[in-house]
Structure 1
Amino acid sequence: MSALAELTLSIRQGLGLAHKRDIAEVVERLYGSHAPRGNLTPDAPASRTAKRFSLHSDAEHRNDGLTPVGDDCAAIPDGDGYLLLATEGYLNDFVASQPWFAGYCGVMVNVSDIYAMGGRPIAVVDALWSDGANQAKPILEGLATAAQIYGVPVVGGHSNLRNDRPQLSVAILGRAKQLLSSFAAKPGQQLLAAIDLRGHFREPFIWWDASTGAPPERLRQDLEILPTLAENGLCASAKDISNAGVVGTLLMLLECSGLGAVIDIDAIPRPEAIEMERWLCCFPSFGFVLAVDSENSTAVIKRFSQRGIACAAIGLTDASRKIRLALGDERQTLWDLDEQPLTGCGLITASEV
């Protein structure tokens, strides 16, 4: 088996994509066949973005008023923009073994989701369970530290200090003038990866930490790139890199937009001396994938590079609905969305309408 074939298999069978496959079961249970999704019809490709974020008013939709599910946040039309709503829950063993960092991530990860949608955060609320106040203390300290660093207040929540273990979830509210969305990519666009390489792994885990210890003002200004791109019309489609890694996150974005792509593994920004397989599975504290028109690609890359963030074109979207990895002249198919959905949050095709 070639190195690329082994890498493709490792990503396909990894825990990151396994967690994302679980989303399909949740979507099915909540919505059945009526999940709010965007329409993709062959005769109207130019109107896809408007359809994806329009309110459903016809009687056949059971979820009137809901925008498509599958993005980093729920986008709720409100006045001349959108309210953004998201939440994150954390694995029990993570909260127990890394309580301070779990609290910190409660804000950091939610903030990233808001910016990935072209928005700016307003406030967060938390839900915390613990076995006593002492167990809750480092979690709350991490939460408070990140709230101060990212300038996002904790305005309320829920607490239970009489539980048998520590548990944490955090929700966030934000607002966007112009959306960045997983549903807005088009065939023929360049795929970009923007990752802050000025960090380190929090050993022995695959979490790339470029946040703790960094200047707060720099962190906030780096994130401001995303809504600026949306408002300047340079980009309409983005997603923050999750625990599915760079490639897995791109797969989720492409599924939502009903597209395929060829991804050049060697082009993905990566710190020196970091093994490729580990890097492709890691969750970076600052990492985004974007689908950008070719004429805007240079300008977008420049915005990130001016802030010291590595950004490169790593692939090209197409209408194949197959996600293929490339290494030199070799190609390997990672996923065929016509054969198997990942999250079940993709576009409704003409045959399904």
Structure 2
Amino acid sequence: MSADPGPSGLAAIAAELRGHPSIRGKLAIGRAAAALGLSVHSDGRPGDDAAVLPRDGGYDLFAGEGFIPAFVNSAPWFAGWCAVMVNVSDIAAMGGRAVAVVDQIWAPDPEAARPVMEGMRAAAEAYGVPLVGGHTNFAASELSLAASIFGRANALITSFDALPGDLLVAAIDRRGEYSGFDNFGAFLGAPAERLRADLEILPELAEAELVTAGKDISQGGIVGTGLMLAECSGVGLDIDVAALDPPAGTAPARWLRTFPSFGFLLSVAPDMVETTLARFAVRDIRADVIGRVTEGSTVRLVDGEDAALFWDYRDTPYLGLRAKEPAHA
């Protein structure tokens, strides 16, 4: 168990996280949506991990990722791998299965682009999703990368359906280590069969109607992802710091903002929790109840009777994309 941070410790953790760049960076999503004239009522329903378009009794899913040039230039092979990995995770988070990936690569010459392409190819083979083309420019001033993905779902896990009374489950593959900044990788050296079967848990959960809502844990970690989930659903969250049990040597604040290579935050009805946890356990993936969904608009860090406010999206919108107004707690 994590050390008891105490009431003043909770407030310090909340303040640290509230001002952290990985948390505040997500504020750009709301600004971009506003500039594009998008709302939760727009086609694709912005706010989810992938755009959703109903078709033929199921759902087409579209997502994309762009990468900071400094990251791509410092670790081009790893960036290429991540371009596929984060996209397939977004599709899985929606209850879907990846169908195909396209790339967008800019480079000064073919040799500069080679490690990026090799990383993408390796990840595509590992996750079993084909690369079907894209856009390539070998006359750019620097190396840059983006990628887009298409997927399909029979049933959805969305960001908009969490309900007060649900329990908050964090499922994170801990068979890895930190690899720079707050990124926790559990994929290098993992068999392809394991990577694919692990992701299959999510569409199976959706099709079995075991979870109410969810998101993949992205930049911003548990607490940032939880805030997005809460705001989209018009609910509050209490995150139990004592239930986190971070990896050895990892402070609670860091674990709360960590971006895991396999991590999902799920809102689950109490009578579905045991079955949901078992789906991850059979794959040797750690899944824990780390909090609960509440009425209201606040995301709080709690430890026993102590609590500290992390964010109130009624006062300070985060994404500004919510399907309903939160009830007053």
Shorter-chain TM band = over 0.9
Match of residue 91 from structure 2: 114
Q: Look up the SS of the partner of 2:316 in the other structure.
A: coil
SS of 1:122's equivalent in the other structure is: strand
Question: How far apart are the structure 1 equivalents of 2:126 and 2:112?
Answer: 23
In structure 1, which of residues 183, 207, 224 is the aligned counterpart of residue 160 of structure 2?
183
> Partners of 2:230 and 2:274 in 1: how far apart?
22
Q: Deviations over 1:41-73 (max 9, x none)?
A: xxxxxxxxxxxxxxxxxxxxxx5xx14210000
Shift of 1:176: 0.2
Q: Is the 8 A contact 1:194 1:269 kept in 2?
A: no
Corresponding residue for 1:123?
Answer: 100
CA distance in 1, matches of 2:175, 2:75: 21
The 5 A counterparts of 1:1-353 are 2-31=8-37, 35-37=39-41, 63=42, 66-203=43-180, 205-349=181-325
Deviation at 1:36, TM superposition (A): 3.2
Change (3 A) 1:166 1:291: same
How many percent of aligned residue pairs carry the same amino acid?
A: 44
C-alpha separation between the residues in 2 aligned to 1:269 and 1:143? 33
Distance 1:68 1:13, change over 3 A: same
Question: Aligned with 1:22: secondary structure?
Answer: helix
Q: TM-score, normalised by structure 1?
A: 0.88
The 1:7–1:350 alpha-carbon spacing in structure 2 relative to 1, beyond 3 Å, is: closer
**Is the 8 Å Cα contact of residues 239 and 289 (structure 1) preserved in structure 2?**
yes
What CA distance in whole angstroms lies between the structure 1 residues aligned with 2:17 and 2:49? 21
Per-residue deviation, 1:198:
0.4
Long gaps (5+) in structure 1: 38-62
Q: Secondary structure at the match of 1:156?
A: strand
Cα offsets for 1:148-197 (capped at 9, x unmatched)? 00000100100011111110000000000000000111111001000000
| Partner SS state of residue 128, structure 1 | strand
C-alpha spacing 1:350/1:278, structure 2 compared with 1 (3 Å): closer
**Residue aligned with 2:223, SS:** helix
Q: CA deviation at 1:273?
A: 2.2
Query: In 1, distance between residues paired with 2:326 and 2:200?
Result: 37
The answer (yes or no) to whether the contact 2:47–2:159 under 8 Å persists in 1 is yes
CA contact (8 A) 1:267 1:313 kept: yes
State the 1:212 CA deviation: 1.2
For residues 44 and 123 of structure 2, the distance between their equivalents in structure 1, rounded to whole angstroms, comes to: 30
Q: TM-score, normalised by structure 2?
A: 0.95
CA drift at 1:306: 1.3
1:60 corresponds to: none
* 2:3 match: none
Count residues with an aligned counterpart: 321
Q: 1:320 corresponds to which letter in structure 2?
A: G
Residue 135 (structure 1) shift:
1.0
Q: Distance in 2 between matches of 1:269 and 1:236?
A: 24
Deviations 1:281-336 (A, max 9, x none): 22100000000100000110111111111111111111111111112432001111
Question: Are the structure 2 counterparts of residues 289 and 269 from structure 1 closer, same or farther at C-alpha, using a change threshold of 3 Å?
Answer: farther
